[in-house]
Every structure is written in structure tokens, then in C-alpha cells.
A and B are shown apart, each in its own frame.
Chain A
Amino acid sequence: MAVLNEWAFIGVFFAVAWVFPFAPIFLARLVAPRKPNPIKQSTYECGVETVGDTWVQFKVQYYIYGLIFLVFDVEMIFLFPWAVAYRELDFFAFAAGFLFIFLLADALIYAWRKDALEWV
């Protein structure tokens, strides 16, 4: 198909992606019968109504966990180039990568021993 180049395919996908979920919703509106009553209209048809204000502060019990994840997650960026170039590396560069992992492990052991990985 000479008319459709590779970019047009993405355009078609994009259109289909919108049509596919919306079509059933629209069809259901057209076809489905409507018989509303108060129980059906309630917020939780099966469940309990909330008591009091829902906008209350609750304790974040894992924020230290979150902070540790934040740091370790980003440190992984240094391991990606190391892993990609893995085959060309000689033993020393391979060891240097491991030194980095050991430093991360050092911090992890510290966090672990300080009970920072527990749900407090």
C-alpha cells in the first residue's frame, strides 16, 4: 500500500484507539433500558456511606521507604550503560560496575539495619 506510509499507520491506530472504547459506551446508551430508582442512584449501591469529611489527613507510613526507593530507582541509570556495553568491557570496567553495586548495597544494608524498610 503505497498511500499509507508508516506514519499514517500510527494515525489509523490513534483513531481506532479512540473509537474502540467509546463505541460500546455510546451503543449501551442507545440500546440499554433506563429504570432509575433512589437505591440505584446512591453513591455506593452496595457498600457503606462515608461518615464525616473525606478530606482528612492520614499518616503516610512509608515515606522513608518512598525516599529510599526514590534514590535507588534513579541510581539505576548508571547501570544501564554498563549493561549495554557489557560485552566490550574488560575485567576492570566490569569490576568497577560491581564496586558501584557494592556502594548501593552498603546504603541498603544501612537502611535495613536502621529499620527503614519496616512499616512503622
Chain B
Amino acid sequence: MFQVPTIADLNLGLTLPALSLALGACVLLLLDLFVPRERKEITAWLAMAGIAVSFVLNLAGFNESGTAFLGTFAADQFTGFLNIVILITAFLGVLLSLDYLKRAKIERGEYYVLLLLSAAGMMFMSSANDLIVVFIALELLSIPLYIMATFRAPDLKSEESGMKYFILGAFAGAFFVYGAALVYGATGTTNLPEIFAAVNGIIAAGGSQMFLLLMGTGLILVGLGFKVAVVPFHMWTPDVYEGAPTPVTAFMSVGAKAGGFAGLLRIMVVALPVFVLKDGQTAAAWQQTFWLVAAATLILGNIVAIAQTNVKRMLAYSSIAHAGYIMMAVAAAGTAGVANEATRAALLYLMAYMFTNLGAFGIALAIEKDDGSDTGVDNFIGLAKSKPALAAMMTVFMLSLTGIPLTGGFVGKWFVFKSALDAGLVPLAIIGVLTSVISAFYYVRIIVNMYLKDGEGDPAAGATRYVNWAIYVAFAGTLLMGIFPWIATNLSDTVVLAVEMFVR
């Protein structure tokens, strides 16, 4: 009855990228104790070294796939691709933080440890193959973020940001656990492929198990929807993004989304793609709900963003809107046969969004004053004169967020819209295109402020060496993805999450 696993059963080789980062964070916690207070950049460099090691291990094992830890941990190309996104985010996050923490006088070694732990949580999420692992990864990625958001304490805004994020994050976590409990109750297993195998029997039997599964799926959507900030679970986003230190905002706006969507895709596409309410339907039962959520997110995020005067708040609503585009791909994954294509579209969108958004936050960080003020949209006035290079790069980031060709954002949107059309979600694709046009309004306003309005240019005192490096990397990534999209698409071509032949 009780089998003791041996080390060979665990298949540790496949888990090395995520495991090395988590262990690296634990070691860094100890090493940091011996780093003198005024030389905390050593900790940052060690953290970057840890990320680099994990990145190399991830690339080395990119084409291997299989399960580890007794089937609870899956390593495949989906994992590999998302790990690339997560590790680049973490790397740029450290680069953006280096000088910022010094300027804000909040430099502490624990910051980098927390960042590594959060990134490790995201990586576990991208390879979670079991509801328990999804839950642990969700909390591992969230709890460090609560602390990082409060890192500017006793600054009231930062404390408020951390508190709101914490309360709503814990609330969402509870929803997720209850949803997972109900799914377990319906299927008798927490393992995602085994849930997939059990779903057909439940549909045939119907009755209370069906009800449990439906409720569980809904509650899981609520829990993860809070994490990725889709309407109607988005209320916390603007306040948290505005109050948190800017590099933390940059890191969590990409990382938490990557992690949340990884979990959502894993659960919906691996475990519940054949979950239909009536026999003979081709689309999963959850597709309709996801459709509505995506549409509401797109409309609300893009329209409310127009009214914002603070660039961090504006980017917060913009991030809600982009969650809507990714949600569109997740909804498309509910149609049999499109699931893998839609998964790839979501991954490509995440990668494009990662480069563009980190770059935009990097420039917002550059014009910010030491006390965290002056992040208004008006502070961009005259930037083209004082810092032409920054203004030019900001222009590219804004165009990429809008989705103009030759930028990464266009490539991401192209694949997402295509998958939505292939899945037959034509109205959703139309809403997506229309809201993209609306989004141009607030993105272009920043370009207008930089180039066409007269005024004293901001000196952009925050554009120090490492911040510039991070912005250059983000800029190069945005353009590379826009001009040579096949680099990214080739990486994602082997991503297969759903079993192609659905048995209904």
C-alpha cells in the first residue's frame, strides 16, 4: 500500500532549473549575512549569477520532457519557454533594482533573496502537474511579492500597497484552495493528467460530481484571476502597482502574470479540456466564462487607462488590458484542436509583453525622483530634448504595447487574434482589435508629451548605468521579437500541452 519513493523515481534532472534557483535563494540568504551593509550590490551580483545558472540549465534541458517527483512536476517545452520569460524578468528586475534601492535608501540583501524565491515559485508554477504543486507555487510566488511591495516602509503608500496586495492575495489563495478541494472531491485525484482521465466518466455520470467539478473550476478561475488581474478581480492592481517600489512593480507585473497564466493554462488545458456540460459539444464548459472575462477585461482596462495621470497607474490598467489579451488566448484554448495553438499564442504574447513592459517600467523608474514622486504622465514632457535616447526607446515600448508592426507587441497580438479566430471566437477578436485602437490613445499621449509639448525636459536622474542596461536589453528584445519573430516562434513550436486527439 505504502511505497517509499527512491531517488530514481524523482527524476531530479528535469527539475534542475527550478530547484537550482530555489536552493540558490536559500544559499544566498546565508551568504548575504556576510556581505557588509554598504556593499549589498555583491548580493545582487550573486543573485544574477544564480539566475544565469538556472537559465543555462533550462536551455540545456529545453528539449527534454517528462515528469518528476512522482508525476507532480512536469518538464516540457511549455515549462522551458516560460522559464526563459521568468528568468529574463528576474534578471532585469535585479538590474532595475540595483541603483533604485540605493537611491530610495532601502537597500537590503533580503530583497534579492525574496526576488529569487518569487521567481522560483513562478518556475514551479510553469511546471506544476498537480493541484497541490500549483497551490504551493502560487503562494511561493506571492508571499515574497507581498513583502517586496512593502519594501519602502515606512512610506505609507508602499505599506498600503503591500497590505492591499496581501489581503486580496490571501483571499484569492483561499478561493483557489477551495476550488482545488472541490475538483479533488469530484475526481478523486489532484494530479492534472489523472483529472483529465476522470473527467469523461464524470460527464457520463452527471449529477453531483458534475456540480462539484463546475464549482471547483469556477473557484479556481477566481483564485488565479486575482493573481493575473482580470476583470472583475482587478480592483487591487492600480493601487498596488502605484504604491510598490517601481522595480517591484515591473517584476510583479510580468512575473505574477506569467505564473498565474501558467497555472491557468496547465489546469484548463491539461486537466479540463474535455469538460463539457452536454455530450457532443466541441468547446469546453469554461470557455464561455473565459470569453466574458476576457471581453470585460479588455474593455475596462483599456478605457479606464485613458483617465490616468500617473504613469504607474496607467501601466497598471494597461497590464489589466494585456491580461485580457492573454485571457483571450486561454479562452481560445477551450476549443478542441486549437488548444495547442492558443497555448503558443499566450506564451508568445507573454514574452513580447515581458520585454515591452519591463522597458516601459524601466523608463518610468528613470524619471522617478528619489522619494518616489514625479511619476506623472506630464513628467514625460520634453524628455525628447533632455534624454533623446530614452525618449526614442519609450516610443518603441509604447508602440509595442499598442501593437504596431515591427515590434514584439504586434507579433504577440497577431498570434492571439489568430488563435481566437481559429477557435471561432470572432466577436472576441473584434473586441480585441477595437480595444487595441482605443489603447493607442493613452500610449500615444506619452509620445506626444515627449516630442510635441514644450517644457523643461526631465533630467531623468534615475537613468543610471544598470537601469540603462536593463532598458537596452528590453529594447533589443522588443525589436528582435518584432523584426525576427521566428526566433521566438521556433522556440515555442514544440510546445504541446494538450493531448491532440480529444476523446469525447
Contact = CB atoms under 8 A, between A and B. Distances in A.
A–B interface present (Cβ within 8 A): yes
Interface of A: 85, 88-90, 92-93, 103, 106-107, 109-110, 113-114
Contact of A113 (B4, B26, B33): B33
Interface in B76-111: none
B6 A92 contact: yes
Nearest to B7: A92
Contacts of A93: 4-5
A61 to B, nearest CB: 19
B29 interface: yes
A93 B70 CA distance: 14
**The 3 residue pairs across chains A and B that have the minimum distance between CB atoms:** A92-B7, A113-B33, A106-B26
A85 B2 contact: yes
B30 interface: yes
B151 to A, nearest CB: 16
6 contacts: A85-B4, A92-B7, A107-B29, A109-B33, A110-B30, A114-B33
Interface string B1-29: 01011110000000000000000001001
A89 B4 CA distance: 6
Contacts of B2: 85, 88
A106 B30 contact: yes
A96 to B, nearest CB: 9
Contact of B29 (A88, A92, A106): A106
Interface of B: 2, 4-7, 26, 29-30, 33
A110 B33 contact: yes
Contacts of A90: 4, 6
Contact of A109 (B5, B6, B30): B30
Contacts of B6: 90, 92
Contacts of A85: 2, 4
A110 B29 contact: yes
Nearest to A110: B29
Nearest to A88: B4
Contacts of B33: 109-110, 113-114
Nearest to B6: A92
A107 B32 CA distance: 12
B305 to A, nearest CB: 39
Contacts of B7: 92
A31 B2 CA distance: 64
Contacts of A114: 33
Given A88-B4, A113-B33, 5 more contacts: A85-B2, A89-B4, A92-B5, A92-B6, A109-B30
A89 B6 CA distance: 9
A90 B30 CA distance: 30
Contacts of A88: 2, 4
B97 to A, nearest CB: 20
A107 B29 CA distance: 8
Contacts of A107: 29
Contacts of A113: 33
Contacts of A106: 26, 29-30
A98 B228 CA distance: 36
B110 to A, nearest CB: 9
A74 B33 CA distance: 25
Contacts of B29: 106-107, 110
Nearest to B29: A110
Contacts of A103: 26
B455 to A, nearest CB: 47
Contacts of B5: 92-93
Contacts of A89: 4
A9 B2 CA distance: 37
Q: Which residue, of A89, A103, A107, A110, has the highest number of chain B Cβ atoms within 10 A?
A: A110
Nearest to B32: A110
Nearest to B27: A106
Contacts of B26: 103, 106
Contacts of A109: 30, 33
A64 to B, nearest CB: 14
Nearest to B3: A88
A92 B5 CA distance: 8
B57 to A, nearest CB: 19
A110 B35 CA distance: 13
A103 B6 CA distance: 21
B254 to A, nearest CB: 28
B37 to A, nearest CB: 12
A107 to B, nearest CB: 8
Contacts of A110: 29-30, 33
A97 to B, nearest CB: 12
B303 to A, nearest CB: 43
A34 B29 CA distance: 67
A85 B4 CA distance: 10
B440 to A, nearest CB: 48
A106 B28 CA distance: 10
A74 B412 CA distance: 44
